[in-house]
Chains A and B, each alone.
Chain A
Amino acid sequence: MERRGESIAAIAGGPAHSQRRGLHRGDSWRIPALAILCVLMIAPLIMAIIISFKSPSQFTRVPFLPTWPMRWENYEFAVQIISQFLLNSVITSGATVIGVLLLSSLAAYSFAQIPFPGRTIVFYAVLALMMVPASLTLVPSFVLIRDLRLINTHWSLILPWIAGGQIIGILILRAFFESLPGEMFDACRIDGATDWQIYWHVALPLTRSMLGVVAVLNILGTWNNLIWPTLTLPERKMWPLTPGLYSYMEQYYTSYGRVMAGLLLGSIPLVILFVFTSRLFVEGLTSGAIKT
């Protein structure tokens, strides 16, 4: 982009040469400055990696520099404790994301393509919930879950998470369904397809990458939830990974090597998700921002 700007400046006889040099000079401080920032950003992780290979006595002697032999047994210990939490996370976040994708794509299709009377009002009723913060609903939601006798079941996470997570999904998917050519849907209807068939065979396949964006956003949201699960799940063995890591650190605080190994292992699932969906990830995180 900038390069093109300069070539125009060159044609116009402007100070292109000095400008290009200037921009190169710019790079020569910008890259080191950003590199230092990045190193500072990962410094805590590097610290965690170093400590995770230490036995308690190694930590007492040399706390923050690598020591040998590396104590892989810290990871063996952490795996045993973390794996149950990880399984719980996969169950709850997984069920939530399936529910969110199903409900929000159905509703979004209806809002975008079926002009039912009252559509605008219903849509605004959904949209208005964007303004209702979790703090307003925290206490009543807990009482509701208790009254529904869902305490100590994974449903106490999944059901409220589906309800909350589908809102942003509806917004994103509705915008996408509206951007699809209406003639295509009309043609399907003329050929005798019902809306259910169009939704399933035409709209959903076209929207696969957007579904991915919604899924990634939703998983990030539920995965990092620390406090709600500790309220509705009295038994620790039911806890997902995030509160699980917290309790793990509380419990083994003084065996620093084991704690760090656990925290690092607990970070891996999202990294894996990112590796497989990096494009959707970036799109999801910045989606909506460009249009506002």
Chain B
Amino acid sequence: MNKTLWERIWETRTGYLMVVPTLAFLLIFQYYPAVSGLYRSLFDWNAGLVGNFIGFSNFVELFTDDDVFIRSLKNMALLTIWYLIAFVGLSTGVAVLIHRIRNERSKYLFRLFMILPVIIPAVVLILLWKFIYDSTIGPLNTILIGVGLQDWTHAWLAEPKIAIYAVMFRNFPWIDGISVLILLAGLQAIPVEIIESGLLDGASGWRRLRYIELPLITGQIKLLLVLTIMWGVQEYTAVWAMTQGGPIDSTQVPGMWMYFNAFRISRMGYASAIGVVMFLITLVATILNMRYIRSQEY
């Protein structure tokens, strides 16, 4: 440490040069929009106009005078809880099922199969489900009529009371390949010795799962919880493609409502405020997750 700071900076100048392009891109296309989003959420800002500074009025309006936003938050909570059940709960079940299979060939085949929902573009699956829900020619109603349940048929995506559930239950049987693969990787990384000593102690089947395997994959489960919550709060692609938030805003989610405000009615400041609320929700959820769920070490 007998060199001065300037000498060290000069010696490692290549290091700075190598991160300059990255930083330039991040400053222009990530930091500037993020800061601008926070800043603009305090403005009454329409496209092309210089907005007026209005303090926290956008936020006040969101929570006191915007029924659609409140409904969108409820829908978001409903969907996120469902995604947690499906992506974390069901996936854990499937991952354990595959992990327990003894026949290596079928085990490999099932693992390979779990990739399928990933390599089929998400939009294709969404559009196929839009078609499945179609009220006149969709297979879902056709099947219901075929088995004599005419009364159960619906215009799935067009009835306000049902549409949000139709969006929610798309992609039946709701297996998320990535989650399954992540959990499987975790299960396979558990050292053989631990399972062996467990078996010697008589822990098999359910108890092996509950007391040995699940505690050792809390790391993976925690990761999935964080990712799923972040995703559940942000996600509006499915809503955008299936219903655009309708009918009568019954499937509105915050992302969709932000999109609508920004690009349909040009309330950009208001839309920025929605973006800030979504950012804060994910931030709080992630911090809580990091704090309160401890992962186990071997």
Pair A110/B230 contact, Cβ less than 8 Å: no
Instruction: Collect the chain A residues with CB atoms within 8 Å of residue B52's CB.
Output: none
In the assembled complex, the CB of B61 is this many whole angstroms from the nearest CB of chain A, namely 16
The answer on a CB contact under 8 Å between A286 and B279 is: no
Q: Which B residues are CB-close (under 8 A) to A116? A: 8-9, 12-13, 15-16
**In this assembly, does A47 line the interface, its C-beta being within 8 Å of a C-beta of chain B?**
yes
Q: Are B234 and A195 in contact (CB under 8 A)?
A: no
In the complex, the answer to whether B40 meets A139 with C-beta atoms within 8 Å is yes
- Say if the beta carbon of A211 comes within 8 Å of chain B: no
A190–chain B nearest beta-carbon distance, Å: 15
A15 CB, nearest partner CB in chain B, Å: 9
Also in contact, A249 and B272, with CB within 8 A (given A31-B101, A129-B26, A282-B181): no
Is A144 a contact of B32 with CB atoms below 8 Å? Answer: yes
Q: A34-B97, A226-B123, A241-B121 are in contact. Are A126 and B106 (CB under 8 A)?
A: no
Q: For chain B, residues 10 to 27, give those with C-beta under 8 angstroms from any C-beta of chain A.
A: 12-16, 18-19, 21-23, 25-26
A81 an interface residue at 8 Å Cβ cutoff?
no
Contacts of A109 in B (CB 8 A): 18
Determine the chain B residues whose CB is within 8 A of the CB of A137 once the complex forms.
Answer: 30, 33-34, 37, 275
Interface size, chain B (Cβ < 8 Å): 106
- A144–B33 touching, CB < 8 Å: yes
Q: How far is the CA of A162 from the CA of B13 in the complex (A)?
A: 24
> Which of B25, B119, B121 meets A166, CB within 8 Å?
B25
B33 and A141 contacting across the interface, CB-CB below 8 Å? yes
Bound: A31/B53 CA distance, A:
62
CB distance from B122 to the nearest CB of A (A): 5
- 9-residue interface stretch from A6-14, A71-79, A180-188: A6-14
Beyond A31-B101, A163-B30, A289-B186, is A14–B200 a contact (Cβ under 8 Å)?
Answer: yes
Q: How far, in whole Å, are A208 and B180 apart by their CA atoms in the complex?
A: 26
Interchain CA distance A44-B174 in the complex, whole Å: 13
Complex Cα distance, B30 from A254, in Å, reads: 41
Instruction: Report which residue of B18, B37, B115 has the largest number of chain A beta carbons within 10 angstroms of its beta carbon.
Output: B18
Q: How far is the CA of A292 from the CA of B129 in the complex (A)?
A: 34
Q: Which of A45, A139, A256, A285 contacts B268 (CB 8 A)?
A: A139
Interface centre among B9, B123, B128, B236 (most CB of A within 10 A): B123
| A263 pairs with B127, CB closer than 8 A | yes
Whether the Cβ atoms of A139 and B241 lie closer than 8 Å is no
List residues of chain B with CB within 8 A of the CB of A9. 199-200
Residues of B within 8 A of A167 (CB): 26
Which residues of A sit under 8 angstroms from B120, Cβ to Cβ? Answer: 45, 267, 270-271
What 13 new A-B contacts, CB under 8 Å, besides A14-B200, A103-B25, A125-B23? A34-B97, A45-B120, A45-B128, A116-B8, A129-B34, A131-B283, A133-B234, A135-B258, A136-B38, A163-B30, A194-B14, A270-B121, A273-B119
28 A-B residue pairs with Cβ-Cβ distance under 8 Å, sorted by A, are: A5-B192, A5-B196, A26-B100, A26-B101, A40-B173, A41-B116, A47-B132, A106-B18, A106-B19, A110-B18, A111-B19, A116-B16, A135-B255, A137-B30, A137-B33, A140-B32, A140-B37, A143-B36, A144-B28, A166-B26, A224-B122, A231-B263, A241-B121, A245-B127, A263-B128, A273-B119, A285-B178, A285-B181
